[in-house]
Structure 1
Amino acid sequence: MKILLDGAVMMAYLACALFFLRFYLQSKDRLFALFSLAFTLMGVHNLLGALLAPTLDAERIHYLYVVRLMAYLLILGAIWDKNRAGRSLR
C-alpha cells in the first residue's frame, strides 16, 4: 500500500511540475521554471524513496532527503529572485 501511495504522490508532484512548466512556456517567467524544477526534484525524491528505501539501512536513509532539501532551497531562491527583480522596477 505504501508503494501505491508513494506513486500517487510522485504523480501529483510531476503534475504540478508540468503545470508550472506550461506557465513558464507561456510567460517566460523564471519563477515558473524554477518551481517546475523543484516539483520535479520532489517527485524524484519520492521515486528514490520508493525504490531505494527498502534496500538502505537506517544510517543512510537520510541522504535521500538532500534531494528534498535542494527542492525547498530552489523554491526559496525562486521567490527571493522574483522579489528582488520586482524591487528594481519601482
Structure 2
Amino acid sequence: MIEQFLSGAVVMAFAIAGLLFLKYYRRTRQRLFVIFAASFFLLAVNYAWLALTQVPVEERSPLFLVRLLAFSLIIFAIVYSNRDKSAP
C-alpha cells in the first residue's frame, strides 16, 4: 500500500515539474523548457504505468524505452540550447 502511495507522489512530482517548465516557457519562449516539460510528462507517464502494472523487471519492458526517450530528450534540449548560434 505504501509503495502505491509513494509511486503516486513521484508521478505527481514529475507532472508538477512539467507544468513548471511549461510556465517558464510561457515567460521566456525558449524551446528548452518545452522539451524539458515533455520529458517530465513522459517520466510521469512512465512511473504511473510502472505503478499500475507492477512489472517485475523494468529493464526488459517497454517502460525502459519510455524512460530512455525522456532522458534522450533532456540531453537533446541541453545540446540544442548550448550550440553555437553563429554556426551555419
Q: TM-score range by the shorter chain?
A: 0.7 to 0.9
Unaligned stretches of 5+ residues in structure 2: none
Match of 2:32?
31
Q: How many residue pairs end up in the alignment?
A: 86
Amino acid corresponding to residue 49 of structure 1 in structure 2: L
Measured at CA, do residues 26 and 64 of structure 1 come closer, stay the same or move farther in structure 2, by a change above 3 Å? Answer: same
TM-score (norm: length of structure 2):
0.87
SS, match of residue 88 in structure 1 = coil
Amino acid corresponding to residue 24 of structure 1 in structure 2: Y
Taking the aligned partners of 2:79 and 2:58, their CA distance within structure 1 comes to 34
TM-score (norm: length of structure 1):
0.86
Measured at CA, do residues 88 and 48 of structure 1 come closer, stay the same or move farther in structure 2, by a change above 3 Å? Answer: same
Q: Using the TM superposition, give the Cα deviation of residue 62 of structure 1 relative to its aligned residue in structure 2, in angstroms.
A: 2.4
Tell whether the 8 Å contact from 2:4 to 2:51 is kept in structure 1 after alignment: yes
Tell whether the 8 Å contact from 2:58 to 2:64 is kept in structure 1 after alignment: no
Amino acid corresponding to residue 88 of structure 1 in structure 2: K
Q: Using the TM superposition, give the Cα deviation of residue 60 of structure 1 relative to its aligned residue in structure 2, in angstroms.
A: 8.3
Give matches, 1:1-90, under 5 Å: 1-53=2-54, 56=55, 58=57, 62-84=61-83, 87-89=84-86
Taking the aligned partners of 2:16 and 2:58, their CA distance within structure 1 comes to 32
Q: What percent of counterpart residues are identical?
A: 36
4+ residue runs of structure 1 moved beyond 2 angstroms?
A: 56-62
Amino acid corresponding to residue 36 of structure 2 in structure 1: F
